[in-house]
Structure 1
Amino acid sequence: MLTEINPKLPMRDKAITKDYYVNKLGFQFFGDKDFDGYLMIHKDSIQIHFFEFKELDPKENYGQVYIRTNDIDKLYQTLLDNKISIHPNGYLETKPWGQREFALLDPDNNLLTFGQSV
């Protein structure tokens, strides 16, 4: 029986990725060990894992994760207040498929889409 999912996304530089997710998006470092070339972060009830890929070309990165939330308007406003860049095509809006969504690109161009059912 499936119980949860922890996406694994590529990163070029662990320090930059950790800084973005922890200091800008409010995630926390997960675990009590620091693994070489691997990063685990969490916020509320989700985890995201990252693996080192130094040769990654961000323009060719198609890493994506869809994150559900129960207060998308507050999350969106918090990110705006903290001067977090929203994807140019990902501003908050209600989609025809019944989701209210917005999206960000992390430093390696991994697409983070946040959504809430309407």
Structure 2
Amino acid sequence: MHKDFTLIPDDQPGVLARLGEACGRADISIEGLSAFTGQGKGVVHVLVPDAEHALEVLAEAGLDVRAARDVVVVEIADQPGAMGEICRSVADAGINIEQAYLATGGRMVMVVDDVDRARELLGVP
């Protein structure tokens, strides 16, 4: 099961390089990433398939994972309106999307307030 990790590092050069290098050395695939900065801090969301191993590796690299959440990962067509269609079905079911970003392989990652219902609705494991 995939997890979305949240990291809040200081805004300085090399954070994403350290993240990528540590995961690469440990043969951990980063399947999705969202990163931005503001007010001297970074906010990084990273999608990994093996959460326990990744937590150890990131801790050894000095990267503090502040949160690890189950997510919904759904295939998304590369065409206009695809995101709207997926998000509309989730919204109409009363499920709140708290965060979303694109991942490798034409997939969208969603952090939602009801993971099980969203997975069932969208037909994903």
TM over 0.5: same fold?
no
Larger Rg: 2
Q: Which has the higher helix share?
A: 2
